[in-house]
Amino acid sequence: MGTKLLLTPPKCLYTKYIYFVHQVTIIYFVSISHNNAQFITSCKQTPYPSVCAHHLFDSPLKTLDDQTDGLTFHDLVVSSTMDQAVHLHRLVSTVKRRRSLHKRATLALFDCLELYEDTIDQLNHSRRSYGQDYSAHDRLTSLSAAIANQDTCRNGFKDFNLTSSYSKYFPIHIHRNLTKSVSNSLAVAKAAAQAETVVEKHAATAFTKFSKQGGGGSRRLMFSDEKFPSWLPLRDRKLLEDSKTTSKADLVVAKDGSGHYTSIQEAVNAAAKLPRRNKRLVIYVKAGVYKENVEIKKSIKNVMVIGDGIDSTIVTGNRNVKDGSTTFRSATFAVSGDGFIAQSITFENTAGPEKHQAVALRSGSDFSVFYGCSFKGYQDTLYLHSRRQFLRNCNIYGTVDMVFGDATAILQNCNIYARKPMSGQKNTVTAQSRKDPNESTGFVIQSSTVATAAETYLGRPWKQYSRTVFIKCNIGGLVGPAGWLPWSGGFALKTLYYGEYGNTGAGASVSGRVKWPGYHVIKTATEAGKFTVENFLDGNYWITAAGVPVNAGL
């Protein structure tokens, strides 16, 4: 990743910001004025008030008083947090050039640089989006991704057992303050989103597009036997359903030289240079085994990669933590560019269980779809890092923490195969890493099968507010009566949200399940409806309903 973002640091941000606030105040004055109590409007109301006050003290808008409206205060907090992220990026850029730096610390710092750049993007997306056609869910998604980025940065040092000394390599105090500031920004945005629902009831929405997508109003339950979420445009749906899509590909990859390129990464690099005007670019990867690590950067958007079928087109690699990669960098296939689609491909990491964390695929792509794909690995097979993702008709193989990360993701009609772990290990299907109670993230496994070759648990809480729900799944007999596994002692057992609804199979009985405060046997369709494609994944926004088989009930 370059340092493009640093060429226009936010020192000019406030000039644009003041104009922006003026616009917003005029447009939304009526709806905000009678409802401002619903918003967070001062540092005293944030999760970390002292950090908020400290970083707003030098702001050009520091004279704003307690009567500041919620939209103005939101942008002020987010802009201040952006300043911190840019500053930290510069510091880390300087630190990584030290010759005395531990080699593995350098690798972790490279992760942090990329993650800080993305954090700046996500914060800017949240700040400017009040004047554009974005919803409350979009803003919460962006800020939740920024939270995930901070944690992923630190995880690189944990991978290499450098946490006890990583302050030598890293401006830890500034990093901690940035993490708290992102949390403050998220809290302000969440309060604003909740206020929107009240404003909406008065027929005066405070944000554009919220009536189409927000958290209030009547919503149709969609326990979808539908093939795709409604946010997938009809043109993309047709690509997924059209048997002739491969013949219409823009670029073709073939090991035998019969295509445009012989490696997937070459095709991806070429795609980055092609003028498209928002047109989706299709890369067809012919049958074969492609031994390479592929990265689709965040600047490369709306790419579809389609193969000749599971176990016919295979992308394979073996990077792993034990041999010197961070978990983040171990992915055989990594995608950050929004709007990514993969179909009919196998992604695998062949490092084996003894190498510990070894990712087959990592995705931080917003509005990404994986259809008819297979993910093969052992520990940490499928890294759903952040943002909104949908998987349908996929196969997932692994052992420890098979599906992990902090995305908002739904897996529908998938087959999950728990392999035999190493001695002393315990299989866990999920390890969702929601760290902040205001994050919109979580995993929903729906209408899927959990097949087990050894004792298996449905999940364990990687972070304090971990959230995972199994809906109408067939649970294999080797999923033990307790169902869920603690991470360490009593950590997160009161704050997590784990739920089960309408599951069947030999391991589906909830009579012997854990008695944790955060575990829920979901008993009503209304409660379960919070986790449908439409409501949880905001599916009514990013995939149209036209031509899709739908089961509107349970």
Q: Which of 148, 175, 196 delimits the end of a domain?
A: 196
Q: What is the CATH number of the domain that holds 82?
A: 1.20.140.40
Q: What's the pLDDT at 59?
A: 59
Beta strands (DSSP E) in 19-58 are none
Q: What's the pLDDT at 217?
A: 35
The answer to the question of residue 110 being in a domain is yes
* Token duo for residue 121: 């993007």
Q: What's the pLDDT at 72?
A: 82
309 with 169, same domain? no
Residue linked to tokens 């339950």: 221
* Token duo for residue 234: 């009809």
The answer to the question of residue 413 being in a domain is yes
The answer to the question of residue 441 being in a domain is yes
Q: What is the CATH number of the domain that holds 303?
A: 2.160.20.10
- Secondary structure (3-state) at 467: strand
Residue by residue, pLDDT tens for the chain (554 residues) are 443 333 333 333 333 333 333 343 333 333 333 344 478 989 999 999 999 999 987 655 555 555 556 678 888 999 999 999 999 999 988 876 776 677 888 899 999 999 999 999 999 988 866 666 778 889 999 999 999 999 999 999 999 998 776 677 778 889 999 999 999 999 999 998 887 766 555 543 333 333 333 333 333 444 444 667 767 777 787 777 777 777 789 999 999 999 999 999 999 999 999 987 778 899 999 999 999 999 999 999 999 999 999 999 999 999 999 999 999 999 999 999 999 999 999 999 999 999 999 999 999 999 998 999 999 999 999 999 999 999 999 999 999 999 999 999 999 999 999 999 999 999 999 999 999 999 999 999 999 999 999 999 999 999 999 999 999 999 999 999 999 999 999 999 999 999 999 999 999 999 999 999 999 999 999 999 999 988 888 765 554 332 223 233 33
d(CA 86, CA 8): 10
d(CA 427, CA 378): 10
168 with 52, same domain? yes
The answer to the question of residue 259 being in a domain is no
d(CA 56, CA 311): 54
Nearest to 23 by CA among 134, 135, 131: 131
- With b for 16 or more beta-carbon neighbours within 10 A and e for fewer, the 362-379 pattern comes to bbbbbbbbbbbbbbbbbb
The answer to the question of residue 279 being in a domain is no
The answer to the question of residue 554 being in a domain is no
Return the active site residues.
Answer: 380, 401
Q: How far is CA 350 from CA 402, 420, 423, in A?
A: 14, 15, 19
The answer to the question of residue 155 being in a domain is yes
- Global pTM reads 0.87
453 with 329, same domain? yes
d(CA 441, CA 296): 23
Q: Which of 196, 223, 255 delimits the end of a domain?
A: 196
Q: Which of 162, 196, 230 delimits the end of a domain?
A: 196
pLDDT tens digits along 86-143: 999 999 888 767 766 778 888 999 999 999 999 999 999 888 666 667 788 899 999 9
Q: What's the pLDDT at 56?
A: 85
394 with 513, same domain? yes
512: Cβ–Cβ under 8 A, 6 or more apart, which residues?
481, 482, 483
381 with 488, same domain? yes
- Secondary structure (3-state) at 273: coil
pLDDT tens digits along 515-537: 999 999 999 999 999 999 888 88
Yes or no: say if 438 and 45 are a contact pair by the CB < 8 Å rule: no
The residue segments making up the domain with residue 123 are 43-56+71-196
d(CA 331, CA 201): 46
532: Cβ–Cβ under 8 A, 6 or more apart, which residues?
221, 222, 223, 224, 539
Yes or no: say if 366 and 338 are a contact pair by the CB < 8 Å rule: yes
192 with 298, same domain? no
The answer to the question of residue 229 being in a domain is no
191 with 325, same domain? no
340 with 472, same domain? yes
| Structural domains of the chain, count | 2
302 with 450, same domain? yes
Q: What's the pLDDT at 233?
A: 75
305 with 168, same domain? no
314 with 178, same domain? no
456 with 350, same domain? yes
